[in-house]
Amino acid sequence: MTSILKEKRVGFIGSGNLAEALIKGMLASGTVSAARLFASDRVAKRLLYIAEKYEVRVLNKNFELARQADIIILSVKPGDVENALKEIAPEFAQEHGAGSSDKLLISTAAGVTTETIIEHLSGAGLENHVSVIRVMPNTPVMVSEGATAIAPAPGVQKHHIEAASELFGSVGLTVLLEDEGLMNTVTGLSGSGPAYVFLILEAMVEAGVEGGLSEECASTLAIQTVLGASRLALESEKGLNELREMVTSPGGTTIEGLKKLEEADIVGTIKSAVAAATKRSVELSGS
């Protein structure tokens, strides 16, 4: 299968942990070569680190990166989005760079809608239509096991959506959202979700230690259990309920543990956690 990214130049505005994870994943999967990767950042020390470790080209001016890249990944903090867009807006004009009219802008900034991004570009004097896609990855992209939701702005062409899917597919799994408004739910579920899992793991490890296991032993067993259960859920044709019943023998040990979780309303608590995080995402995005 031919890559949609063949010969495409990919640039990162902002070279923090997420950008590094994506660069690492793209290089490891062969999705993009180092020669076609660019990165910019306002911290010179960070750029030096990225350049030395991954051998990608680094630039200290965002507009220089935007001029050279076909796909621009905006991975800055939400509060820095407007200034970054003002700096790069002119580079989307037809006269700048080969294929500039077909440039793609992908934003990882939480809570910043595609509509807001397009408004900022228009406010900077850009009249051209710009293809903008918003994504919400989570921290496991750092080990190429991320979950990323992709929400294109209206009018984005199919090949741009495919490019975003391939890029983020190099560091995990992706889902395509037809309604960008659902990004708030994604934030509450998969964006914040790793923290819920880590909390559950902490509790499992503590229980193992209290039961006499060493912390190292308890940690290994707990982490591998969650990893294995997740892999089984991904690869099995059975539903989650069926998989749970497979482990739950009548009168056995598992059912006793599940009774305690039901008494504590673990299902309701997790639903409440996702709902609370989703609500906060709505507040932060002004939706």
The residue type of 203 is: A
Residue 107 has pLDDT above 90, yes or no: yes
Q: How confident is the model at residue 126 (pLDDT cuts 50, 70, 90)?
A: low
Residues of the chain with CATH 1.10.3730.10: 193-285
Query: With contact defined as beta carbons under 8 Å apart, do 147 and 137 qualify?
Result: yes
DSSP for 152-170, written as a single string: EPTT--HHHHHHHHHHHHT
Percent of the chain residues past pLDDT 90, beyond the cut? 76
Query: With contact defined as beta carbons under 8 Å apart, do 166 and 25 qualify?
Result: no
Architecture of domain 193-285: Orthogonal Bundle (1.10)
| Per-residue pLDDT tens over the stretch 10-43 | 999 999 988 998 899 889 888 889 999 999 999 9
Q: Tell me the C-alpha distance between 134 and 17, whole Å.
A: 18
Give the domain 10-186 fold: Rossmann fold (3.40.50)
| Per-residue pLDDT tens over the stretch 149-199 | 999 999 899 999 999 999 999 999 999 999 999 999 999 999 999 999 999
Mean pLDDT for 51-64 is 94
Predicted TM-score (pTM) of the model is 0.90
Query: With contact defined as beta carbons under 8 Å apart, do 20 and 27 qualify?
Result: no
Q: Write down the pLDDT at residue 128.
A: 63
| Per-residue pLDDT tens over the stretch 245-278 | 999 999 999 999 999 999 999 999 999 999 999 9
Structure tokens at 186: 């994604």
Residues of the chain with CATH 3.40.50.720: 10-186
Structure tokens at 36: 């076609």
